[in-house]
Chains A and B, each alone.
Chain A
Amino acid sequence: MSSFNEAVILTVGINVLLALGYWIAVSTGKYSFGHTAFMAIGAYTASILTVNFSWPLPVAMVAAGVTAAVAGGLIGWMALRLSLLYLAIITFVFSQLVNLLISQWDYVGGASGMLGMTGTTVPLVVGCVLLAVGYLVLLSRSRLGLAHKAIREDERAAMASGLRITRIAVGAFATSAAVTGVAGALSAHQLMVITPELFGPHQALLIILYCVLGGVEYFWGAAIGAIALSLLPIYFDWLNEWYEIVYGLLFVALMIVRPQGLIGRGGAGGVRLPRLIPRRERESVG
Chain B
Amino acid sequence: MAEPLLRVSAVTKHFQGVEALGAVDLEVAGGSVHGVVGPNGAGKTTLLNVVSGYVPPDEGRVVLGGRDVTRLTPQRRVPLGIVRTFQNIRLFGGLTVLENVLLGQHSRAVTGARSLWPLRTGGDRRLRAEAERSLELFGLTDYRGRRAAELPYGLQKQLEMARALAARPKVLLLDEPASGMTAEDRRSLVPRIRELRDEGLTVVVVEHDMDVISNICDHVTVLNFGRRLTDGPPGQVLASDEVRTAYLGT
Give A residues with C-beta under 8 Å from B: 138-139, 141-144, 146-147, 149-150, 153-154, 156-165, 217, 267-271, 283-286
Contact = CB atoms under 8 A, between A and B. Distances in A.
6 contacts: A159-B74, A160-B74, A160-B83, A269-B149, A285-B20, A286-B42
Contact of A269 (B20, B41, B103, B150): B150
Contact of A147 (B44, B79, B103): B103
A143 B15 contact: no
A154 B20 contact: no
- Residue among B75, B86, B118 facing the most chain A CB atoms (10 A cut-off): B75
Contacts of A267: 147, 150
B40 interface: yes
Nearest to B80: A162
Contacts, number: 126
Contacts of B91: 154, 157
Contacts of B110: 143
Contacts of A283: 15, 46
Contacts of B147: 267-269
A157 B92 contact: yes
A11 B52 CA distance: 50
A165 B119 CA distance: 20
Interface residues of B, number: 51
Given A271-B94, A286-B40, A160 B149 contact: no
A227 B6 CA distance: 56
Nearest to B175: A284
A161 B44 contact: no
A142 B75 contact: no
Interface string B2-44: 0000000000000100001000000000000000001011111
Interface of B: 15, 20, 38, 40-46, 52, 54, 73-76, 78-79, 83-87, 90-95, 99, 102-104, 106-107, 109-110, 115-119, 124, 147-150, 163-164, 167, 226
Contacts of A158: 75, 92, 103
Nearest to B116: A142
Given A162-B79, A163-B103, A143 B149 contact: no
B116 A138 contact: yes
Given A143-B119, A153-B92, A163-B75, A284 B87 contact: yes
A139 B113 CA distance: 11
A161 B115 CA distance: 16
B52 A160 contact: yes
A153 B94 contact: yes
A286 B206 CA distance: 9
B167 A139 contact: no
Given A150-B103, A285-B45, A143 B124 contact: yes
A146 B124 contact: no
A156 B45 CA distance: 15
Contacts of B115: 142-144, 147
Contacts of B45: 284-286
A154 B147 CA distance: 14
A146 to B, nearest CB: 6
A286 to B, nearest CB: 5
B149 A142 contact: no
Contacts of B104: 161
B93 A153 contact: yes
Given A143-B115, A146-B99, A269-B149, A159 B75 contact: yes
A139 B116 contact: yes
Contacts of B167: 161-162
A147 B106 contact: yes
- Residue among A156, A270, A285 facing the most chain B CB atoms (10 A cut-off): A285
